[in-house]
Amino acid sequence: MDEHAPDPAAPTSPTGGFSRRRLFGLAGAGAVGVAAAGVAGGAIGRATAAEPVSPADAAGDAVGFTGTHQAGITTPQQDRLHFVAFDVTTRDRDALVRLLQKWTEAARRMTAGQDAGPIGAVEGSEYAPPDDTGEAIGLPASGLTLTVGFGPTLFRAADGTDRFGLADRQPEALTELPAFAGDELDPARSGGDLCVQACANDPQVAVHAVRNLARIGQGVVSVRWSQLGFGRTSSTSTGQATPRNLFGMKDGTDNLKSESPKALDQFVWVADGDGPDWLTGGSYVVTRRIRMEIETWDRQPLREQEQTIGRTKGAGAPLGAKAEFDPVDLERLPKDSHVRLAHPTTSGTAILRRGYSFVDGSDGLGRLDAGLFFICYQRDPRTGFVQVQKNLRTDKLNEYVKHTSSAVFACPPGITGPDDWWGRALFS
Amino acid sequence: MSTPRKRTAPAVLGVTSLALVLAACGGTDGSSGGGGGKKASDDIAVAATDSACTVDASELEAGTHKFTVTNTGSKTTEFYVYADGDRIMGEVENIAPGVARPLLVELPAGDYQTACKPGMVGKGIRNDLTVTGETTKLSDDQALSDAVAGYTRYVQSQVTALQDQTRQFADAVKAGDVPKAQALYPVARSYYERIEPVAESFGDLDPEIDARENDVEEGTTWTGFHVLEKTLWTGGDLAAAGPVADELVKDVDALADEVKGIDLQPLDLANGALGLLDEIAKSKVTGEEDRYSHTDLYDFAANLEGSEQAVQSLRPVLAERDADLATALDEQFTAAKAELEKYRRGDGWAIYTELTPDQTRGLSDSINALAAQVSQVPAVVAQ
């Protein structure tokens, strides 16, 4: 069951307004009406406008914004990502709260396929900047989800300052990640006070959402870093085929899936009593920008590649088995293979992976600046990502990867209704 | 919050009527106030030194007043009369040591501050000034035309000071006095940068005065401040710089002529205020404007001040129509100025290359925060 099934009430949310497609459809219908003037033109216009511009397809559908948990975690993973981390630049707690409320309204609208603001990209005063930037006009909701998280530095600055009176609400589990062997982290694209993960099946829709949130946030927050991902590298639903990462390998075969609610409760959702009440029903997200040395990888013999991962390159079967979903027999995998070391049986825990491939141009040395923007959700980072990653110290894959950014955020539970807003329980 | 005003200004700001106002203000000596040709009944002495600003009055009756500012310090100074939000009611720029300059200004009842600015920088040495008497509430149109008249005076006084400073700068270049020319370069430019959107409205004058090397089209000669900047900071040929300096003085004089007949609309003020912040975001906070001298923060400060003056000219209108916006504008201008103030070095500013990435980020954030508010001004003015 997907609790984020499209909400039929969403397109006429409290602020009302057109969906982007409907607006587009009306404009087109108007043109038809003019062309057919005098021949019942108005009737043609109305009939055209009343119908969808094109039949809704699954990839274009809206994902519901409200629910027990935030959308964008167990939601079947969309194809595209724009992830953004913000620094809060104001010292005014009320200004931050107002921004979170404005963001929630904009997110509610955009995930329903509407403009970011109630007036829209082209309907407002010619003397005022539009309340939507316009590049998503005509595009459907495209499965857009916006998932918010709060970083450790929102609660306490590096020097311990209680910036917004939230220090006593900082979950014990929300601390900077420890250093791992081989880290090459760039502080300028690590950390952050707030994050928003925008996932959609259309890259323009994801970028549009982040851009508008950043625009609305000017003066209160400032973009610290952001990352585009062009292709998903995990499946979060059994209904999805397992995608391949830039090593050409199937990735995320044994991921936690939305169809296993018990496992999600055990490993992903923060339970009552785990920490402060405001986070119950939420989760923690860890992000790692993992640069892949793909040119080096591409020079390796096929056998070396498969031994490094622990799966066959073609079917994605565990070494020693035939099909992708055959049980993994750890003893048949090399001791330093990635799957063996990362497997829940070895690590004693599980995380929900939700990463994306990226290519950020080139590195000046004739190589693509490419890799995996790793995202995972867990009930507690200490017994989630940290526990898994510590086990990867001897991973043979380390020869081909380099972690260049790191961040952790606490993601509150879902938006409960029309008056709820991101962080309400935290700030109330 | 709006300051009650008594003065009347032309409701329709045609070229002719405006030129008359400007002529009456005595703009040629670098002073400007809303004197409007009326005679002052008094003459208030202002004794300005490098560390003091003694104004011989703290309470006045509403009406036209004359201030005579005598600079006995060692630094060139300026004198201002500010209303709420540092809106300039009248100002005298560029008062050299040993010089006395008059300012005629009409002040309706309200609370004001006077300021001397030795070295022509900073908030200045402030004194409170209370004006009492009869007040009348202005009509909306009147408030808008007052805004335009006030800002036009500001532009005029900046251009007059620009002419003077550019001439001094050109003389130093021609005399081969590199240290002096280098010191005058960012100061002279400041007067230009404060009013750049106005200058840009006169076609070719802006590129002739302010083009950077990569702005110049093939087949066109590169002229203006930045040619001299390159010569001065890269050990270029000063002999060849002489004619460029003469040409710059000529172009600045042409700009001053154009400005005498300028016919601004209220929306020009609003859009210009935003345009100046966009200038900062585009080429000052990135260090692209002054790539040889790295004096970008002088331009930054000047753009910011020019933007504030345009907005504050409109302040009575904004306070009436959208009080929250007026307050937010005050706050963000204060915050942006405070952020910039961290980089003051003596009478000037840190060179751009001194700044760390975190510091330029802080400056950029403050301008973005301010611009988000200033971008709301045009729609309020157009109401």
ipTM: 0.79
A133 to chain B, any CB pair closer than 8 A? The answer is no
pLDDT value for A42: 35
pLDDT band at B41 (very low <50, low <70, confident <90, very high): confident
Q: Which of B365, B370, B379 sits opposite A222 (nearest CB)?
A: B365
CB contact under 8 A, B379 and A127: yes
> How do residues A54-78 score in pLDDT, each as one tens digit?
333 478 899 999 999 999 999 999 9
A261 to chain B, any CB pair closer than 8 A? The answer is no
Determine the Cα–Cα distance for residues A302 and A110; give it in Å rounded to an integer.
44
Residues in chain A closer than 8 A to B370 (CB atoms): 219
Nearest CA of chain A to the CA of B117: how many Å? 30
> How do residues A209-242 score in pLDDT, each as one tens digit?
999 999 999 999 999 999 999 999 999 998 899 9
Determine the Cα–Cα distance for residues B91 and B93; give it in Å rounded to an integer.
6
Cβ under 8 Å to B: A residues 93-132: 125, 127-129
Residue type, A213: L
* pLDDT at A202 > cutoff 50: yes
Q: Which of A125, A128, A218 sits opposite B369 (nearest CB)?
A: A218
Rounded to the nearest 5°, which phi and psi values hold at A170? -70, 125
* pLDDT at B1 > cutoff 70: no
* pLDDT at A2 > cutoff 70: no
* pLDDT at B18 > cutoff 60: no
Residue of chain A whose alpha carbon sits nearest to that of B372: A218
pLDDT band at B25 (very low <50, low <70, confident <90, very high): very low
CB contact under 8 A, A125 and B267: no
Quote the tokens at residue B227: 């040619």
Contact A149, A285 (CB under 8 A): yes
Sheet holding B31-33, edge to edge: B31-33, B87-95, B77-83, B110-116, B125-132, B59-61
**DSSP state, residue B341:** H
Determine the Cα–Cα distance for residues A10 and A17; give it in Å rounded to an integer.
11
pLDDT value for B237: 93
In this structure, how many other beta carbons lie within 10 angstroms of the beta carbon of residue B16? 10
Torsion, Cα A117 A118 A123 A124, to 10 degrees, reads -80
**Over the range A318-333, which residues count as b (16 or more CB within 10 Å of their CB) and which as e?**
bbebeebeeebebeeb
> How do residues A374-409 score in pLDDT, each as one tens digit?
999 999 999 999 999 999 999 999 999 999 999 999
CB contact under 8 A, A218 and B376: no
State the helix-helix crossing angle for A41-50 and A20-35, rounded to 10 degrees.
160
Quote the tokens at residue B332: 């963000």
Residues in chain A closer than 8 A to B358 (CB atoms): none
Residues in chain A closer than 8 A to B364 (CB atoms): 222
Q: B interface mutation test: which of A90, A213, A218, A220 has the most B CBs within 10 A?
A: A218
CB contact under 8 A, B371 and A218: yes
> How do residues A300-341 score in pLDDT, each as one tens digit?
999 999 999 999 999 999 999 999 999 999 999 999 999 999
Q: Which of B369, B371, B376 sits opposite A89 (nearest CB)?
A: B369
Determine the Cα–Cα distance for residues B99 and B70; give it in Å rounded to an integer.
6
> How do residues A5-57 score in pLDDT, each as one tens digit?
555 444 444 444 556 765 444 443 333 333 333 333 333 333 333 333 333 34
Rounded to the nearest 5°, which phi and psi values hold at A200? -155, 165
Range with the largest mean pLDDT of A133-137, B197-201, B206-210 = A133-137
Contact A177, A385 (CB under 8 A): yes
What is the pLDDT averaged over residues B322-351?
Answer: 96
> How do residues B206-247 score in pLDDT, each as one tens digit?
999 999 988 888 888 999 999 999 999 999 999 999 999 999
CB contact under 8 A, B375 and A129: yes
Nearest CA of chain A to the CA of B383: how many Å? 9
CB contact under 8 A, A128 and B379: yes
A158 to chain B, any CB pair closer than 8 A? The answer is no
A187 to chain B, any CB pair closer than 8 A? The answer is no
Q: Which of A127, A129, A218 sits opposite B368 (nearest CB)?
A: A218
**How many residue pairs from chains A and B have C-beta atoms closer than 8 A?**
31
pLDDT band at B204 (very low <50, low <70, confident <90, very high): confident
pLDDT value for A28: 38
A1 to chain B, any CB pair closer than 8 A? The answer is no
CB contact under 8 A, B365 and A89: yes
pLDDT band at B8 (very low <50, low <70, confident <90, very high): very low
- With a pLDDT cut of 90, the percent of chain A lying above it is 81
Determine the Cα–Cα distance for residues A114 and A121; give it in Å rounded to an integer.
10
